[in-house]
Amino acid sequence: MTDNTILTLTSGPMSLEVWTTGARLNAASWNGHSGLIDGSSTLDEALGPKLNHGSVAGPVANRIAGGTAEIDGLAHDFERNENGKTLLHSGDKSTRDADWSVDERTATSATLSLAIARMADDFPGNRVINARYDVVENGFDLTFTATTDRPTLMNLALHPYWRLGTDRAGLQLQVNSDRYLPVNTDTIPTGEIADVAGSLFDLRQIAPPSFEIDHNYCLGLSGEMAEIATLASDKLRLVIESDAPGLQIFTGKPFGIAIEPQHWPDAPHHAHFPSIELHPDQTYSQTNRYRFSEV
C-alpha cells in the first residue's frame, strides 16, 4: 500500500508540491501563476493514467530495446511493458510509483531517498537513489545521486508535462542542440546521430514544436551545467539548465510538453552512446535547474 506524503516547498513567490510517491513534482506555481505542470488530483490518478506526470523515472528512464541488456558482461532480461517489445521507464517496478523516504526537509528543500534491493526490479545491485529539491525565488534545482554495490544501469529523469498555465497548443520551445537520435517504429534509436538542420527537430530558434517529437537531443558530454532548453507561453518563460548528456522531448500530448534531461535511450545497445553503467566505485550524479520569468 502506497503511503504518500505531500511536501510543500516555498521560497518567496515560488512554490512546489512534491509527493513521496515517485518523488514526484505534482504542482508548481510562481509569482501568482499556477498550473505550470499537469499534475494529479488523487493518488489513484498518479498511480494510473498520470503515472509519468511529474514522477522520477528510473532506475533506467526511457527505453531499452527488446527488454534485454548486458551488464558487466552478463545478459539480463527485463519486463517488456511497451507493446510487448520494449522496457519503458523500468516497467512496473519503477521508481515512479515507489514509496520514497524523506531524509531531510526545510521550508525550501527536501531530500528524498529510495533503497532498492538487488534484483527487486530485475536490475543488479543494492542501490540507494537520492532526489533533492531546492527551491529559490524564481525556480528550483533538482539533483539526483545514486550508488550501487554491484555493476548496474542508472539513468534518472524527472518527467513532468510542462504547460505554463496554458495548453499544449499555446507553447513555444527552443532546444540548444544541433543533433538528435532518429528512431525506428518502436521509438528505439537506430544508432545514427543526425543533424537537426532542415528537419522538424530543428528547434534552435524558439517556435511552436511539431507534435511528432519523442526523441533524444544530444547535448555536450563535459558534465558541465549548460542552458539546454527554453519553453514559453504568452505570459511565462521557463529556462532549463542541466549537466546531463541528453534531453528527451515529447510533444505529442494535448496537456503539455515533456522536457526530460537524462542519458541517451537504449544506451546498452549502442557502444558509441554515453554509458549508463554504474559501478560500486562511482556515484551517479545529475543536476537540473529550472528558472521562471515573465514574458
Residues 259-274: what's their mean pLDDT? 98
Residue 232 has pLDDT above 70, yes or no: yes
Element (H, E) at 46: helix 43-47
Average pLDDT, the chain: 97
Residues 39-53: what's their mean pLDDT? 97
Q: Coil, strand, or helix at residue 153?
A: strand
Q: What is the pTM of this model?
A: 0.97
Phi, psi of 230 (to 5 degrees): -135, 130
Residue 22 has pLDDT above 60, yes or no: yes
Residue carrying the nine cell digits 537504449: 266
Residue carrying the nine cell digits 509527493: 19
Q: Which three cell numbers stand for residue 271?
A: 557502444
Q: Which three cell numbers stand for residue 282?
A: 562511482
Q: Evaluate the omega torsion of the peptide bond into residue 189 and state whether it is cis, within 30 degrees of 0.
A: no
Residue 1 has pLDDT above 60, yes or no: no
Q: If pLDDT is split at 50, 70 and 90, which confidence band does 86 have? A: very high
Residues 224-248: what's their mean pLDDT? 98
Domains parsed from the chain with CATH numbers: 6-294 (2.70.98.10)
Task: Look up residue 128 and give its amino acid.
Answer: V
